[in-house]
Every structure is written in structure tokens, then in C-alpha cells.
Amino acid sequence: MRLTLSLSDNPAATAVERAIMEFRSARPVVIDGAQGSALAVGVENLDEAMSVEIGAMAGGHAHLVLPAARLRRLGLERDTPGRVALPVVDRSRVELLALRTDGRIDAPVRPADPRDEEALELARLSLMLPAVIVVPLAPGVEIDPSLLRVSGEAVRGYRRANALDLKIVSRAPVPLEGAPTSEFVVFRGGEGLRDQVAIIVGKPDLSKPVTVRLHSACLTGDLFGSLKCDCGDQLRETVRFMAHNEGGVLLYLDQEGRGNGIANKIRAYKLQSQGYDTYDADEVLGFEADQRRFDFAAVMLKELGVGKVRLMTNNPEKIAALSQAGLDVISDHRVLGRPTAENVSYLAAKRDRAGHYIDLEGMLACSNKD
């Protein structure tokens, strides 16, 4: 009798996860769709040798796909992605169009087709720069059989299909400074291949409204005390508050750099050092104002038995997301860090451009008194 071992109960999602790893490893991926197949490769991994190889394979039919945010930086008012022809795959030109601050559009921009948009989504899922070289493949063309193939439909639907697919994989008590009765609960899922953590501080009564914070991971601020943001202050102040006020739940979410990933966050920091604000820097890189989703955070809270929340946040998007996900947001409360010479412009940009509830003048007044 022959037995078949099933490697996945969701082959489409598994293929996307493998494609993410291929993309992050600088290997091209073939995207199959209704309009045919196309080879996709991220521009941040493009070197001279790969440029020559792709150019030879494309035969003049490659194109560069750019998101709307980057096109706006190149001088076009766009709200949808577009593509620029690459008759020759010239690495320096690709870099100019996809990344450099002095880039300007130098050729007609055509609307992106579904394969182009799926390639961009694969780059975003991989936490890579959202700029991709796409080579349409003619029917019957021979390609390296080792190249991974993935359905464009699976890529397009991956984030939505997996957002709410979470499960607890481990939990244990972890005493914290100032909050000795704390438990870490690790979830897998929600944002693809990453783990998410819930920290239960104290012994909150789940039958009553529970103090909750959704905290996006910030390596530079949380761990190293960066002066460019207020994240570390917010994290530690939240834990202290919960420990002294009937406990609470802090969700530590793997969403570095507003969902863009640590590499892109550091690229944005370099641009900020050149005078761009936090949102303009992200737009130069091709990102819209915020890539994060919070629907899976609501699933984590429900899994822990939380139904009513007192939300500690300055971000109106988090309040709306939990309410839309069916949680009862009883109240929302501000979490303010210390203003510094290095983060004042960052705090002002969040207030003025993203509508965060930040009383910067009040913070500065209190800081000057201290």
C-alpha cells in the first residue's frame, strides 16, 4: 500500500510562504496568473551579474514596477502602481527610479497589470523594498525548473486569508522589573511567518474591561533607547501603569517600522537624517503612510478571553480597528513619552499627518519644568 504524506492543509498558502523566502534570498520567483506567467525579482538584490542575466532572458521585454508612493516622489500624481519599460536592464537606472532621492521619471508609465501588483505584494510580504522587475514569460518558454512558482491569486489573497489564523504555541511566567507577576503568551500567525507576543501583566479580571496596549516592535527604541522616537518610553510606561492598576494585556506585535521591516526602517532613518520627516522618508522608499493591520490583534485578545478594553494608545487607527473587529472599546487613554531634540519633529509629524492624539506643547511644557 502506498501512503502519501501531506505537507500542508493549505498548499496555496504554503507556496506563498516559500515564495517569500525565495524573494528574501535574492532568487527570482515565477508568478502564474490568468494573463500568463511572469518572472519577478526584487530590485534591492539586483547586482550587475543578475542584471545581465535578466536582460538576456527578457529580450527587451522587462519592466520595473513601482508603487504609487514612489511614483509621486518621481513627479507623478498617482494613487495606483505603474510600470516603466526596461529595454535594457540597467542597474544604475533601476536604482535611480526605485530608490534615489534625485530620481525623476524618464519614460512613459503604464498602469500595472495584476501580475505586477502581485509581484509588489510579494515584495511587501517579504519586507523588501516595494519595487520589482517583472519579465512576462511567453507560452512554452523554458525556464530553470528550480525556480519556485506561485499562483498570483494566492499571493493576492495571502494577507487577508492568514490575518486571522493564529494559535498559541507557548506560554510561561516571566517576571519583569516592576511587574513580577507577568506571563508571556506566544502566538504564531497573523502576519505570516512571524510570531506575536501577548504579555499579561498582573492578574487582570477578564470579566471587566481590561487595560490593553497594541505595541508595534521597535528594536531601536524598545531595546537600545533611541532618542528618535517615543516607543521605549511608551512600552515601559505601559507595563508600569498596568502593574499598579489591576493589570492588563500588552500585545507586542512584530510590525517594525510601521510594518515595513527593520531594513526599510533604517533606510528611512538615513533619509530622515537628510531632512525628510518620517512619512516623507517612507514615501521616498515607496511606502504609504502605514502598512500595519490590527485585525489579528483583536483575535489574540479574544483568544485570551478579553472582550472589553480600555485602550492605551495615541493612534486613532488602533481604536477603530479593535472596534471594527468586534471588541468593546470602553475608553482610550494617552501614552506619552519624553520629548527630545531628536524626536520632536517625529512626534509633530505623527500628530499633524496621521492624526495621533499628541499634545506636544503640553509635553514640552512639562519637560521644561522638569
Q: Which residues contact 325 (CB under 8 A, 6 or more apart)?
A: 294, 295, 297, 298, 299
Exactly one of 254, 277, 280, 290 is catalytic; which is it?
290
C-alpha cell, 65? 514596477
Known catalytic residue: 292?
yes
Cβ atoms of 264 and 292 within 8 Å: the answer is no
Exactly one of 113, 258, 292, 332 is catalytic; which is it?
292
Instruction: Cite the active site residues.
Output: 290, 292
